[in-house]
């Protein structure tokens, strides 16, 4: 290994709807980070932005920003991994310093989104979704909603209890946002506000989804010893298609990234003082808590119910307000998470906002629909942490092998409904509302399909048909009859088989 | 410093108009590079692509490609610096290996461009140009044409001689392309072909400009010792606006990058066996030859006239055919240059295509209009090269400080025409043909302005007016009278001053 890598300075703009252009936001964040770092030279500039060409019609952004900063001459590159860009550009900067070729690297991540109509923004954001799932009309909230329904099913929670848990996440993060002057939303929300908010994609409401935001963050990394050291990095991809994954309710890309980061830092989940988790949707905070090893699978929700993750709880999660309340300028959020951890570890906040005694902090940043995730661990260098010579992580990532998958045409006789949602704000050109579901076919393959039916239930038998390029499914039990009458179901199946001329 | 970094394998697709999608092209190139590298594991995937969102409507490309390669799980990021993306992604991969954190890194760079109408492609490519210059209607060929006219003026060449020199560059690179099975164009062109080709932006013709191309290239870097080592890297930006530069005819970003690369590799220009130079426009090959220290300023053209840069000449330049004949998938070209140097250094080609005795090779890759350039040096590890303990480069980068610049409204009394062009294929929404010129105002500031006048001459006095947001200029000598009658000019100036009521 080359040099150790330290954080010399951080800075950010207020997140929200801004009159400033992306370069102006980036220059503001960079100026603050450089001032905070008290350095005189920058050797390398790395820019993180997700969709600058589509959001602003500008390209060549790395050169634009170097020029605007008065750093023309200094090398500058842009790094991008969809919504985990903020962490990925930090990772690239880490390698540049660790290699020994650069001493001070300036990282700036930002996004300018609020100036476009929401349907256009939704369309740009939906370009991260796998083509077949996108063609069926799946947006990010639709996929997140189906993951939520499946989580509720596997955790054996009632719909009411699941809703109350999601409400608690949103209320906690909005409360934390009131303490953070950079946050987009700084108002407390109540249960009444939460339950009064509109459905985006059932069972997710407006208050379950991170907003559209402008903003920028900057960090200076250095090889000179400073208080905060970058001690762990992890980065992993997963299949683009959600239907190709080994689980709907746990993200392999987080588990793999966490394993790498814990290994590199030689820490275990139990030693983490606070975490910033990618809550683009409230259920992702709970899944993240489990995938990072803080809580066992399908039990993270208990910590939410018991208030363990509040800013003064046992393990504060998203003390910044998270993506939910701080806002989510897509390319910047990962670096904003890192800035929050740096500030918390420095212990510079007023008592109400400060995580007490924070020594090691972690960030988890999701790219796309959890197919390019990063985990970053930072720690204070001024305390002694004993590490065994033969260190092995206690963190178990579980089975992280993908199944062998293929997109050969499936056999369409029927299958089981794995999860579903009704999407209310659909992408441009897609009818609204739209019901979507993942169906496990009888040959084991999973497909995404639309449905014209209401009153669906996870686990029910469905039949599937192809119309043009799209799949449609409907329940095999008679529409409207949602009692799980197994006898009825079997007799219906027998009838169906007879209709098809098969032996009963 | 951490590990040394070696090239384990390279691969590329045929460049040209392809029926394949970008992911398909990238997978093909990657498969070849992995086969060539004979490795069993990939630790990290880095993707280089310039404008994938705008060209193909896809984002999240790093995760898409990892998934397509069957590498889901492996970390993957995208790197971008406009048209130097191929070299910038190679640089990022270098740091990842040099840091000691990754052993085998797969780099894939590509672009898919030919499926869109040319005017749309031109518009996408023009987004790299500074806003004010873009607003005046400047495209990449227009800026390159003005640089060419200025070069001709400073090198004291006649228009006919300059044209003959550019023709020689195009003919040489097209000849080299006939030897390269991956090249887009594989036909010899004659002087007659060259002079018969259409004006794009005077004095540049179709045969002076790199084509629109689909293609992908892949390289595997490793910390295991191999025949080819990465010995030098340089990367530098320049001001986005061409009018803010210290010179029209030399690129500071190349000179700075070259200085860094020569210093890191501890080699001098005289030791380079062959170079791949970014000939997006034929004059850029000549300017590159000078900025890289192969020839003194404004004397590179002599080497072209004397045939020194042919594949069997003293210093072969663009033995691959260059961007001109190999083709220019914008995000891929830099990595294609590196692949060519690797092959030449390995000495695996048939004699007609092989640069004899190649030991150290260099690539120079231009981002935007030369504001984010990279220089990469590769060398064989199986020969002894003595390096003095106290090594100093013989390469002089010249004055590389930017002037203090500002975009305060200029004083519009008049100035000198620094260079100009007439652009025939204008970007969407701009009238054609369009005459553009850089004018040095009397206060020293340079502006880009349009003109409605023909028969312009570099060095002539002009007056400037503002119409809306755009500047327009016209010669102070009477239109149509292009004899340089100094007496006439002075008397005209005196008249003008009198008209303005000043003391003569």
Share of chain A above pLDDT 70, in %: 93
pLDDT tens per residue, range A37-48: 999 899 999 999
Which of A49, A53, A58, A59 should we substitute to test contact with B (largest number of B Cβ atoms within 10 Å)?
A: A59
pLDDT value for A483: 44
Closest chain A residue by Cα to residue B370 = A63
**Chains A–B, number of C-beta pairs less than 8 Å apart:** 225
Distance set, CA B380 to CA A224, A249, A327, B99 (Å): 34, 50, 51, 22
CA-based max dimension of chain B: 82
Question: Is the per-residue pLDDT at A495 higher than 70?
Answer: no
Question: Is the per-residue pLDDT at A13 higher than 70?
Answer: yes
pLDDT value for A435: 95
> Minimal Cα–Cα distance from A42 to chain B, Å?
12
> Minimal Cα–Cα distance from B63 to chain A, Å?
6
Alpha carbon distance B337, B318 (integer Å): 8
Beta bridge partners of B300: none
Question: Is the per-residue pLDDT at A205 higher than 60?
Answer: yes
Beta bridge partners of A274: A361
Share of chain B above pLDDT 90, in %: 81
Mean pLDDT value across residues A8-18: 98
Q: Are A49 and A111 in contact (CB under 8 A)?
A: yes
Helices (H), A80-217: 85-98, 118-126, 131-135, 140-154, 159-179, 191-196
pLDDT value for A357: 95
Compute the CA torsion angle B351, B355, B358, B364 (nearest 10 deg): -150
Residues B81, A92: C-beta atoms closer than 8 Å: no
Residue ranges of chain B with per-residue pLDDT less than 50: 478-486, 502-504
Interface of B with A in 196-255 (CB under 8 A): 233, 235-241, 252-253
Distance set, CA A46 to CA A38, A92, A377, A412 (Å): 19, 8, 20, 49
> Minimal Cα–Cα distance from B261 to chain A, Å?
12
pLDDT value for B476: 86
Residues in chain B within 8 Å Cβ distance of A75: 91, 235-237, 257, 372, 374
Residues in chain A within 8 Å Cβ distance of B64: 240
pLDDT value for A481: 45
Contacts of B100 (CB under 8 A, 6+ apart): A1, A2, A98, B2, B3, B223
Alpha carbon distance A482, A460 (integer Å): 10
Closest chain B residue by Cα to residue A79 = B79
pLDDT value for B360: 98
Mean pLDDT for chain A overall: 92
Is the whole-model pTM more than 0.90? Answer: yes
Question: Is the per-residue pLDDT at A404 higher than 60?
Answer: no
> Minimal Cα–Cα distance from A400 to chain B, Å?
8
Q: What is the DSSP letter of A432?
A: S
Residues in chain A within 8 Å Cβ distance of B60: 81-82, 127-128, 240, 367-368, 371-372
Strand ranges (E), A52-103: 76-80
pLDDT tens per residue, range A68-109: 999 999 999 999 999 999 999 999 999 999 999 999 999 999
Which of A75, A127, A427 should we substitute to test contact with B (largest number of B Cβ atoms within 10 Å)?
A: A75
pLDDT tens per residue, range B149-166: 999 999 999 999 999 999
Share of chain A above pLDDT 90, in %: 81
Mean pLDDT value across residues A458-476: 93
> Minimal Cα–Cα distance from A222 to chain B, Å?
14
Distance set, CA A135 to CA A124, A130, A429, B326 (Å): 14, 9, 10, 36
Q: Flag whether residue A306 sits within 8 Å of chain B, measured between CB atoms.
A: no
Residue of A53, A67, A371 lying closest to B239 (CB–CB)? A67
Closest chain B residue by Cα to residue A75 = B236
Q: What is the 3-state secondary structure (H, E, C) of B402-471?
A: CCCCCCCCCCCCCEEEEEEEEECCCCCCCCCCEEEEEEEECCCCEEEEEECCCCCCCCCEEEEEEECCEE
Residues in chain A within 8 Å Cβ distance of B76: 81, 237, 372
Helix (H, G, I), strand (E, B) or coil at A306: coil
Pick from A116, A137, A131, A198: nearest CA to A426? A137
b/e map of B359-370 (b: 16 or more CB within 10 Å)?
A: bbbbbbbbbbbb
Interface of A with B in 376-435 (CB under 8 A): 400, 402
């Amino acid at each position: 290994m080359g040099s150790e890598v330290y954080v010399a300075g951080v800075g950010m703009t207020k997140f929200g709807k801004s009159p400033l252009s992306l370069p102006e936001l980036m220059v503001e964040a960079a100026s603050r980070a450089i001032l905070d770092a008290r350095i005189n030279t920058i050797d390398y500039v790395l820019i993180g932005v997700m969709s600058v060409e589509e959001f602003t019609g500008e390209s060549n952004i790395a050169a634009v920003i170097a020029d605007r900063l008065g750093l023309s001459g200094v090398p500058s590159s842009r790094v991008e991994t969809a919504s985990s860009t903020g962490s990925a550009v930090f990772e690239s900067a880490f390698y540049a310093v660790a290699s020994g070729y650069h001493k001070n690297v300036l990282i700036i991540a930002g996004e300018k989104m609020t100036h476009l109509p929401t349907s256009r923004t939704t369309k740009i954001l939906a370009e991260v979704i796998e083509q077949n799932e996108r063609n069926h009309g799946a947006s990010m909230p639709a996929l997140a909603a189906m993951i939520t329904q499946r989580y509720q099913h596997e955790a054996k929670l009632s719909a009411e209890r699941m809703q109350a848990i999601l409400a608690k996440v949103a209320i906690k993060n909005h409360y934390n946002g009131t303490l953070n002057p950079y946050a987009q939303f700084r108002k407390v929300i109540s249960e009444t506000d939460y339950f009064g908010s509109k459905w985006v994609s059932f069972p997710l409401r407006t208050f379950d989804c991170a907003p559209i935001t402008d903003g920028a963050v900057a960090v200076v990394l250095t090889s000179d010893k400073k208080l905060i050291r970058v001690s762990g990095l992890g980065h992993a991809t997963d299949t683009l298609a959600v239907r190709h994954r080994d689980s709907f309710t746990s993200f392999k890309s987080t588990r793999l990234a966490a394993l790498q980061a814990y290994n590199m830092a030689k820490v275990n989940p139990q030693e983490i003082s606070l975490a910033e988790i990618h809550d683009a949707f409230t259920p992702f905070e709970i899944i993240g808590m489990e995938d990072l090893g803080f809580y066992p699978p399908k039990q993270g929700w208990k910590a939410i119910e018991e208030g363990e993750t509040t800013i003064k709880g046992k393990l504060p999660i998203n003390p910044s307000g998270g993506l939910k309340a701080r806002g989510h300028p897509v390319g910047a959020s990962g670096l904003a998470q890192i800035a929050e951890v740096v500030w918390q570890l420095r212990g510079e906040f007023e008592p109400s906002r400060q995580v007490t005694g924070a020594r090691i902090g972690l960030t988890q940043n999701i790219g796309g629909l959890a197919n390019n995730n990063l985990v970053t661990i930072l720690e204070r260098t001024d305390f002694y942490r004993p590490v065994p010579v033969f260190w092995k992580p206690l963190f178990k990532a579980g089975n992280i092998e993908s199944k062998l998958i293929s997109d050969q045409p499936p056999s369409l006789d029927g299958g089981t409904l794995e999860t579903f949602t009704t999407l209310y704000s659909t992408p441009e050109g897609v009818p609204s509302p739209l019901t979507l579901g993942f169906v496990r076919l009888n040959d084991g393959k999973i497909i995404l399909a639309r449905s014209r039916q209401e009153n669906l239930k996870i686990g029910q038998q469905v039949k599937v048909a192809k119309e043009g390029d799209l799949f449609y499914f409907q329940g095999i039990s008679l529409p409207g009859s949602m009692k799980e009458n197994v006898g009825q179901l079997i007799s219906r199946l027998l009838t169906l088989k007879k209709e098809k001329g098969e032996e009963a």
